[in-house]
Structure 1
Amino acid sequence: DGKWWAGTYGWGFTVDVIPYTGARADRGAQFQYRAAYGFANALLLTGDQRYVQLWKRVCEKVNENAKVVDGKTLYPHMYGTEEGDEGWYSFKPEKFAPRAEELFYWTQDRSVLEFLSSKPDWISYLDGDNPDYPEKTLTDDLATIRDRMTSVRNDTATPDTRMSDDMNALNPAITDSLIRLMLGGLPTGREGYPLHCRLRYFDNELRRAGIPADVAALVESMDENSTTVTLVNTDQNRHRTLTVQGGAYAEHQITSVTAENTTTQVDGSAFTVELAPGSGVQLNIQMQRYANQPTMKMPWAR
């Protein structure tokens, strides 16, 4: 009927999930959680923060329609005629804040974190408040892989009784924590969002994307203009050389790199690091985020 809030997966898309009990579920989140990446794609292409700030304003405007029930503030998450008259519904204690963690990542606006009831573990780690996070998340991921492979082996479903998306919950390829901790980036998810990250690595010897064999990377802190990463060559016999790029698509301009109290001016989208056998180095990288037009070209082809 031309309603802005209507339509499949729109603001008012609440549907039957168990028809014989009358149970219904909100499905607007499918749209809400994906829309933010549209604005992020515009940021990636233009460097204009106003695109992602628009999503922040959407969240603020929705939360302005909160109401107090029995002394508790509740925030709407849906809009439509589900409860009779057209208006906001699906009120919850949590603020409306789809992709708040990602929004903070793109904007580095600390006020965005106020949308959340608690600071995400990864952000706490980057702030220096959660030092055990890398080890814990690695342990958790390994446990998840074991559990999922057990589920795969124990799955008795046949192709004709299996839903097309049933395997999503059994996928053993756990990469979210690796993206966060190695690249300082946002997980791309099963939806396959464009990769937003602070750093990306390339193997100079093999002339390919990806960190060289035996090299480990851990992004330890980030703020609006800097990223700190530790690189370690675990090979005790061979040197390793890698290129460190600003962003997944060279969209970040690296201004300088500091290692062991020595600062080197870069003024480019990438730089090269040579690691002696068994050595490691902590790098503080100063950068201008989303300053360059993104490219898929390898660093040595630009």
Structure 2
Amino acid sequence: MENKEKPIQVKATEQLTPPQWALQQQQLFQTLNKAAEEFIARYTHADGTLIWRSDWPGMDGSDDPYEGFMNLALLYVLGGSTELHEKSRKIWEGITWQWTEYGQIHREFDAYYDWMHHGEGYLYLYFLGLAGPATPKDRQRAVRFANMYTGDDPEAPNYDKERLLIRSPLTGSLGPRFEVTEEDWSTHRGILDDYLAPYEDIPGVDFASRKCPWSDDETYKQLIQMMNERMNRGDVPLNLNSTSLLAHAFLHTGEERFRDQIVDYLGAWEERTRQNGGIIPDNIGLSGEIGEYNDGKWWGGYYGWRWPHGFITIIEPLTNACINAVLLTGDMGKLQLAREQLDRNWELRTLQEGRWVVPYKHFDSGWGDFREATPQYPVYLWMISMAAEDLERVERIPKNHDWNEVIVPTMSGTDKKTGRNTKHYIGNTQPWYQYIRGLNPDYPQQILAANYQLIASQLVKMRSADGDPHNWSQKYNEGDYSSIHAWQEMCPLYFEGLAQLTLGAPMHISHGGLQHGRVRYYDVEAKRPGLPAGISALVEKLTADSVTLHLVNTSLFDDRLLIVQAGMFGEHRFLQVELINQQGNITDTVTVNGRWLQVSIPAGTGITLHASMERYVHSPTYDMPWETSDKPLLISGRVKAN
């Protein structure tokens, strides 16, 4: 514990029979560990590269393999097998090298693409940050990648420091991509045939049909030209997802400039929203003017209010940016822009067939694409603030289906019965929210059973002929590019409930959100993150200033010692901790006043802790409890002569 506060220690003394949820958690860990071995053997070479094609066109693609394998690192963070650490790092390196050879990645970072896809792919990087301990490579990469979005990398001038804007929706290690080619979008053409057109005045395209024939060569040429004229220069709300990359660099280094830029960039979007009458505009020109290349329209930008998804790709990056700002500053006021956009959207609601619906898109004719509001995003805000006003933003949404219902989610899209978005097989934020408020007591057993069911069905898919990577080339040769998503579709490593229950938070926002948690754990004897083998954890209740946590040692043979950390990034502080027995009586109270509590749990025992806490009072960090304060020096390359 050199250079760290010495944790207060408590000890479990009560023998107990493990509850059902505790046994289910251990079954999941064991199943996931074995599934990970089989998944890696099925799809990777010994060097961590993927068994796949010799070529891949277009600008798309590097995010998908990262997404397929990123949960190796997150499972390790929760308490998965020790081997997952080395394997997850090796596979990240292998994917990065492989897609560099294909041509999508340059200097270890995507050459150019949008921040919906960057956001998805670099979740892997953020999970590796949590996995620690940070290596010189980790820290160097984090700073190098972030500098591509601070205006400090001359090879990647993505950010305009003076105007506080990202210069294109398509950015990366080669800088802003103001003009795209037909080759850049080649892998999307068949998919986008079933989407509405990005513009309402494309010759020969009926916008009202809600479809656009990207596969038609003449239409495709027109689309590329119009994108270059109207859409590929200037800033868009989607770029707010870049704040997670900046936060990642701050968590590695503590450099204030990364925090300052998040605050300044979010502030720039606050000002643009104010200028636009309270609705966030979706396209900002290089001069800072709203609608500069779009006939003055504040709607119609890349991944904006009109195309292709509307409100979802507005509110997601905004929510990520606001939460990142709170994490790094502790200022709950930084949630305001996301709150206001949810409020403006709610104010536009209308009654259709007896149900309140809100607009998801804005067309030249006005608001459209009315659907039921999703509670997911206000739940994220409430999880951070625990404020009554954010609770009200959740509760005002009509419960037109059973919010307690647990689903086994599909890969992506929307669950037909509940209307929940299920990207990355995340689909149970609402029932978790109900549980943590005391309204869904059976949730732990139900969600862990659903997790097991999903893993089982994924293993069946993975082992099938469709899951054999050697069979994917034929589809590609026939012009079907869907195999780029195959690793995600076949991956058995999905464990939403395990993360929710142990961390006390919903799963990350799939398009680039950091994984938050009211608490996280470290194995003291193994000096690694995650729950020690045999230990199950359940966050039962959260308030603005407390957490109630159950810890159970399911083994009758092995004593365990763990550290409970206040906050996923050590951003919180435990004050006092009450020890509670099975009858609900307080047996002892200890004063902690720090980030960490060490808990000794002998074989066959369990303990319930009710901890009062102050939140967002420490500077967040990836550092572990036993690391020193010394960080590896960043390497400065030699200055090349002109």
Q: What range describes the TM-score normalised by the shorter chain of this pair? A: 0.7 to 0.9
Percent of matched pairs sharing the same residue: 30
When the two chains are superposed, the root-mean-square deviation of aligned CA atoms in Å is 2.1
Q: Distance in 1 between matches of 2:511 and 2:601?
A: 36
| Pick aligned residue for 2:330 from 38, 47, 58 | 47
Cα deviation per residue 1:181-201 (whole Å; 9 max; x = unaligned)? 011122136545212100110
1 CA distance for matches of 2:498 and 2:354?
A: 42
Residues 27, 173 of structure 1: alpha-carbon distance in 2 compared, 3 angstrom cutoff: farther
Change in CA separation of 1:43 and 1:153 when aligned onto 2, cut-off 3 Å: same
- In structure 2, relative to structure 1, the CA distance for the partners of 1:169 and 1:45 (3 Å cut) is same
Match of 1:277?
603
**1: distance between equivalents of 2:376 and 2:306?**
16
Give the CA deviation at 1:177: 1.0
The amino acid across from 1:125 in the alignment is: Y
How do 1:115-154 residues align onto structure 2 when only pairs under 5 Å count?
A: 115-118=396-399, 119=403, 120-154=430-464
Aligned-partner Cα distance in 1 for 2:352–2:536: 51
1:218/1:229 contact within 8 Å kept: yes
Structure 1 match to 2:111 = none
Answer yes or no: is the 8 Å Cα contact 2:451–2:496 preserved in 1.
no
| Aligned pairs for 1:1-302 within 5 A | 1-2=293-294, 3-14=297-308, 26-69=309-352, 73-81=356-364, 85=365, 87-92=366-371, 94-95=372-373, 99-109=377-387, 110-118=391-399, 119=403, 120-156=430-466, 158-159=472-473, 160=476, 161-163=480-482, 164-188=484-508, 190-191=510-511, 193-260=513-580, 261=586, 262-301=588-627
Q: 1:173 to 1:115 in 2, by over 3 A?
A: farther
Provide the residue aligned with 1:22 in structure 2.
Answer: none
Say if 1:97 and 1:115, in contact at 8 Å, map to a contact too.
no
Q: 2:589 corresponds to which letter in structure 1?
A: T
Give 1:166 shift: 3.7
* More divergent stretch after superposition (59-68 vs 254-263): 59-68
State the distance in 2 between where 1:73 and 1:106 align: 27
| Structure 1 residues 139 and 225: alpha-carbon distance in aligned structure 2, compared to 1, 3 A threshold | same
Structure 2 unmatched ranges of 5 or more: 1-292, 404-429, 581-585, 630-642
- AA of the residue aligned to 1:79: H
* CA distance in 2 between partners of 1:278 and 1:72 (Å): 51
What TM-score does the superposition give when structure 2 sets the normalisation length?
0.42
Q: Tell me the amino acid that sits aligned with residue 154 of structure 1.
A: S
Would you say the 8 A contact 2:560–2:601 is kept in 1?
A: yes
1:250-275 deviations in Å (ceiling 9; x for gaps): 00111111103211111111111111
Q: Please state which structure has a larger fraction of its residues in strand.
A: 1
Q: Once the 2 structures are TM-superposed, how far is the Cα of residue 169 of structure 1 from its aligned partner?
A: 3.0
- The Cα offsets for residues 172-231 of structure 1, whole Å up to 9 and x where unpaired, read as 111211111011122136545212100110111111111111111111111111111111
Q: Which moved more, 1:186-195 or 1:236-245?
A: 186-195
User: What is the CA deviation profile of residues 134-189 of structure 1, one whole-angstrom value per residue up to 9, with x for unaligned ones?
Assistant: 11111111111111111222243513245212432332111211111011122136
Amino acid paired to 1:117 = P
Q: Distance in 1 between matches of 2:465 and 2:497?
A: 26
Q: Is 2:523–2:561's contact at 8 Å kept on the other side of the alignment?
A: yes
Deviation at 1:122, TM superposition (A): 1.1
CA distance in 1, matches of 2:374, 2:537: 35
- Give, in whole Å, the separation in 1 of the partners of 2:355 and 2:551: 48
The answer to which structure has the higher helix fraction is: 2
Aligned position for 2:88: none
CA contact (8 A) 1:95 1:115 kept: no
One-letter code aligned to 1:285? A
- Partner of residue 20, structure 1: none
The 3-state SS of whatever aligns with 2:520 is strand
Q: Residues 71 and 259 from structure 1, CA distance in 2 versus in 1: closer, same or farther, beyond 3 angstroms?
A: closer
Provide the aligned length of Structure 1 versus Structure 2.
286
> What's the CA shift for 1:96?
6.1
Distance 1:202 1:71, change over 3 A: closer
Distance 1:54 1:115, change over 3 A: farther
- The 4+ residue runs of structure 1 with deviation greater than 6 A are none
Q: Hey, what's the Cα distance between the residues in 2 that align with 1:170 and 1:117?
A: 35
SS at match of 1:77: strand
Distance in 2 between residues matched to 1:252 and 1:100, nearest whole Å: 22
**CA distance in 2: counterparts of 1:104 and 1:154, whole angstroms:** 42
Aligned partners of 2:318 and 2:337 also within 8 Å: no
